[in-house]
Amino acid sequence: AVPATVALFKRLSVDDQLALLWYAYTEMGGSITPAAPGAARLQLAEGLLSQIKKMSHAEQLQVMRDLAANRNTAISRGYGVLSTNTKLAFWYELSVLMEQGIVIPMPPGYQPSSDVTEVLEAIKSLDFGQQITVLRNTVVDMGVDPLAD
């Protein structure tokens, strides 16, 4: 069930991938907060996050689209060297910053596409551990590995 769900995610458009992560966060947010000693891991992502915080909302959205689309940018390369859990912690922190209005929020009244709803339902049908595995497998392949050729 996990590989099938990850495959569904990877078939989503870039914007749908971002929307899916957002809804996964809003559904799981409560349960991952206590599990996120990601705070420690976030130090490794702090440089990237502080650069993103200084950007305009439009630039922030572009950075996230570039990550999901594996576009080769400085931020994508910085992301690529993070460990998988730090990548998760990085996305988690972006969601928190979105809620605080520091990072571009979801457009008001945003309606997820049926593709997004389908993947979200697939994720919801998994147990918590499997949900984390799906998320790990989605964020691990974002960005660019600067050591790959």
Chain residues that interact with ligand 45D, rule: CB under 6 A: 15, 18-19, 21-22, 24-25, 32, 35-38, 41, 61, 64, 85, 88-89, 91-92, 94-95, 98, 104, 106-107, 132, 135
Using the minimum distance from each CB to ligand 45D, give the nearer residue, 32 or 48.
32
Rounded CA-CA distance 120/80 in Å is 25
Using the minimum distance from each CB to ligand 45D, give the nearer residue, 118 or 149.
118
Minimum distance from residue 63 beta carbon to ligand 45D (Å): 9
Minimum distance from residue 7 beta carbon to ligand 45D (Å): 18
Minimum distance from residue 29 beta carbon to ligand 45D (Å): 8
Using the minimum distance from each CB to ligand 45D, give the nearer residue, 6 or 19.
19
Using the minimum distance from each CB to ligand 45D, give the nearer residue, 47 or 148.
47
Nearest-CB residue for ligand 45D: 38
SS3 of the chain: CHHHHHHHHHHCCHHHHHHHHHHHHHHHHHHHHHHCCHHHHHHHHHHHHHHHHCCCHHHHHHHHHHHHCCCCCHHHHHHHCCCHHHHHHHHHHHHHHHHCCCCCCCCCCCCCCHHHHHHHHHHHCCCHHHHHHHHHHHHCCCCCCCCCC
